[in-house]
Amino acid sequence: MNLWKRYGLLLVVTLTLTAGIPVSAGAAQTAAVDTGDTSFIFICTGLVMIMTPGLALFYGGMVRRKNVLSILMQCFTVMALVSVQWVLLGYTLAFGPDTGGIIGNLHWLGLHGVGFEPNPELAATIPHQLFVLFQMMFAIITAALITGAFAERMRFTAFIGFILLWTTLVYDPLAHWVWAPGGWLRELGALDFAGGTVVHISSGISGLVAALAIGKRITHTQEVLLPHNLPMTMIGAGILWLGWYGFNAGSALASGSLATSAFVATNTSAAAAAISWMAAEWLHHGKPTALGAASGVIAGLVAITPAAGFVTPISSIFIGLFVSPLCYCAVSMVKQRLGYDDALDAFGIHGVGGIFGALATGLLASKSVNPAGADGLLLGNPQLFVAQLVAVAATCLFAVIVTGIILKVLDHLVGLRVAEEDEEAGLDISQHGEDAYCYTDLSATAE
């Protein structure tokens, strides 16, 4: 008995000690985690995060001074709302185990079961929770992009409801369709490296629907609504350009040749688009403008987003050169002729540029750049171009219908638009009780 007692005591002590040592568990986790890829995606996640404050500056400089804080507040509010929504519900809807090719199930609700080990189906060399963070930044910037369409006239209460509903009912399903294993557009063969359909077409089309539903600003046809601070807009454009490297190169989900290729394509398209926008403006009005150069950069970045990991540097030049004239026409001609008030050209740049980029991917994609992709129409594969057409059409139709329903419901419940006197006073004072350039507590005045 004494011998058995000794063996029993030794076994208990051994189990107790080894249970407190995390070596084996850590080894099991880190064996599949590549620290280089993980560090790279951490950096890219930060770059994509800084894009939303950059967008706030880009948009903020283009509105009138009485509305600049409202734009900044909307972008920062999106960061807070979507961060929580993504952890609680959004991630599992977008990337959770597939349900019929349409949506993810609730298996990862509240990130239950989402740990630090990689998920081979999503990102094979980085922790699963890091993949969650990286994709969360995409959801944030997409919702923020829409604010440019209805700037200077939406009630903040309605804005909060819109962002939560739109992210859940539009963005999350689209992300599943295109990027999640089993998503029907992914299974169809459509290519979207970093968000041409999921991010730009969805936000641009939804922004147009919102602009039409809310209506024009009260002074839209009575005065020229000029940007109040173009240096702010240019700084914002520079931050967006920088952040876009993380947006596109990071979508390779590993540090290596594919990320490098996407980085080169991203920068080259942005540069070419800036040149072509300035050229179009020069020919049309006789002078290139700073706002035009910034708009061209953004148009080039939008268009290359779906194609970044699938096209050569020469193809990225063509994408940049051709997207700016299209977006320029949408912004300076089509909008005026049709009379809609897309305040900061969310549709004119992101909607039009995203559609062009998705279709250009179907033309110019090459398996020599990314063997996991496909050759495009110009390399003898019409199936890819057809898949891109289907993806564009499905995204547009889905965004129009669901966004329209969301806006109709919110208008009935809380009202979409501020009162006319509040719009005249400016959203900074009427919605937030603040003034951007002479700070004081204006809450009493607003009441």
pLDDT at 205: 98
Q: Which domain, by its residues, includes 122? A: 34-110+118-415
pLDDT at 367: 98
Taking the chain, what is the end-to-end CA distance rounded to the nearest angstrom?
85
Q: Is residue 4 domain-resident?
A: no
Count the domains in the chain: 1
Q: What is the CATH number of the domain that holds 359?
A: 1.10.3430.10
The dihedral over CA atoms of 7, 11, 17, 22, expressed in degrees to the nearest 10, equals 150
pLDDT in tens, 50-62: 999 999 999 999 9
Q: Is residue 442 domain-resident?
A: no
Comparison of pLDDT for 369 and 221, the residue scoring more: 369
Q: Residue 10 above 80 pLDDT?
A: no
Q: Which residues contact 373 (CB under 8 A, 6 or more apart)?
A: 191, 309, 310, 365, 366, 367
**CA separation (Å) from 198 to 136, 232, 242, 262?**
13, 28, 21, 18
197: nearest Cα among 186, 208, 187: 186
Neighbours of 41 (CB within 10 A): 27
- The 10 Å CB-count burial string (b at 16+, else e) for 369-380 is bbeebbbbbeee
pLDDT at 222: 67
Mean pLDDT of the chain: 92
pLDDT at 26: 38
Give the residue-averaged pLDDT of 64-86.
Answer: 97
Q: Residue 117 above 90 pLDDT?
A: yes
Q: Is residue 403 domain-resident?
A: yes
Distance of CA 4 to the CA centre of its chain: 65
Is 176 within 8 Å of 102 (Cβ atoms)?
yes
pLDDT at 32: 86
pLDDT at 18: 32
pLDDT in tens, 284-313: 999 999 999 999 999 999 999 999 999 999
pLDDT at 336: 87
Q: Is residue 46 domain-resident?
A: yes
Give the residue-averaged pLDDT of 249-269.
Answer: 98
Q: Is residue 74 domain-resident?
A: yes
Q: How confident is the model at residue 442 (pLDDT cuts 50, 70, 90)?
A: low
pLDDT in tens, 76-115: 999 999 999 999 999 999 999 999 999 999 999 999 999 9
Comparison of pLDDT for 327 and 223, the residue scoring more: 327
Q: Is residue 330 domain-resident?
A: yes
pLDDT in tens, 130-163: 999 999 999 999 999 999 999 999 999 999 999 9
Q: Is residue 276 domain-resident?
A: yes
Q: Residue 31 above 50 pLDDT?
A: no
pTM beyond 0.85, yes or no: yes
Q: Residue 202 above 60 pLDDT?
A: yes
Q: Is residue 207 domain-resident?
A: yes
pLDDT in tens, 319-339: 999 999 999 999 999 998 999
